[in-house]
Amino acid sequence: MSIAKLENIHKVYHIGKIDFPALRGISFSVEEGEFLSIAGPSGSGKTTVLNLVGCLDKPSRGNIFLDDKDITALPTSKLADVRRKNIGFVFQTFNLIPVLTAMENVEFPLILEGRHESKERRHLVEEILTEVGLQDFIHRRPNEMSGGQQQRVAVARALVKKPKLILADEPTANLDSVTGEEILQLMLELNQKTSTTFIFSTHDKMVMDFARRIIRLRDGKIESDQKANAQ
């Protein structure tokens, strides 16, 4: 079953009086459990694709389906609900809440979701933090952790509510290569273990090597879409 489907997506940004086409009619679909990389140089439209799939933005033309439901015309408030329930984000700059501990950061999306009792939430959080190897850091705040540890917390935060889809925008760009590789390895393991679909953008060859499928973009169009051999 396709988790996400993009049909002839166009996205035009209006910068002053100039129209800047970021995407020029791209179509692809993502199946459940995929580990997909959107690759391409700067300005090719990678982040725009992630923003659209992540319901943070709306296309200028075309349709987007999540779980076979057309979300293109949903109002902003409904899109927030879709994000809350179905999508986890991992950002390039980690973007943890600095005043909360690792545990509280990971617990935060569960509280927003409001599905679990406090005890159950704590259990889920401890479980996922153990899974990402941070069982000894649960009471640390972001500024007391390394970049790699922070990104692990971010991965745990994205995963804790068991979303259908995790979107990661250049998740290793702010990490050294060893730590970056560790994070990708972790994401891949979690993908295999939980069948959660991962889509991440990158222009880094090492990151692409981890992907099972690579969609290459250039100038807002799909240049290639190919299965790759995982490491």
For binding to other proteins (CB under 8 A), which residues are involved?
A: 51, 54, 56-57, 77, 80-85, 87, 89, 91, 93, 95, 97-100, 104, 107-109, 111-113
d(CA 166, CA 187): 10
Sort 16 into a burial class: Cβ within 10 Å, 0-12 / 13-18 / 19+: exposed
Query: Nearest distance from residue 93's CB to other proteins, in Å?
Result: 7
- Cα dihedral sign, 51-141-117-159: positive
Tell me the closest approach of the beta carbon of residue 189 to other proteins, in angstroms.
23
Distance CA 229, CA 231 (A): 6
**Shortest Å distance, C-beta 76 to other proteins:** 8
Instruction: Considering the complex, state which of residue 75 and residue 205 has its C-beta at the smaller distance from other proteins.
Output: 75
Nearer to other proteins, 93 or 224 (CB): 93
Q: At closest approach, how far in Å is the CB of 79 from other proteins? A: 9
Contact 201, 48 (CB under 8 A): no
Among residues 89 and 198, whose Cβ is nearest to other proteins?
89
Residue 38, CA atoms < 13 Å, CB-side half-sphere: 31
Shortest distance in whole angstroms from residue 228 CB to other proteins = 28
Packing angle, helices 118-131 and 102-113, rounded to 10:
130
Find the shortest distance in angstroms from Cβ 56 to other proteins: 5
- Please, which residue, 28 or 91, has the CB nearer to other proteins? 91
Give the closest residue to 65 by CA, choosing from 56, 73, 75: 73
- 99 or 206: CB nearest other proteins: 99
Nearest residue (CB) to other proteins, 35 versus 89 = 89
Contact 222, 216 (CB under 8 A): yes
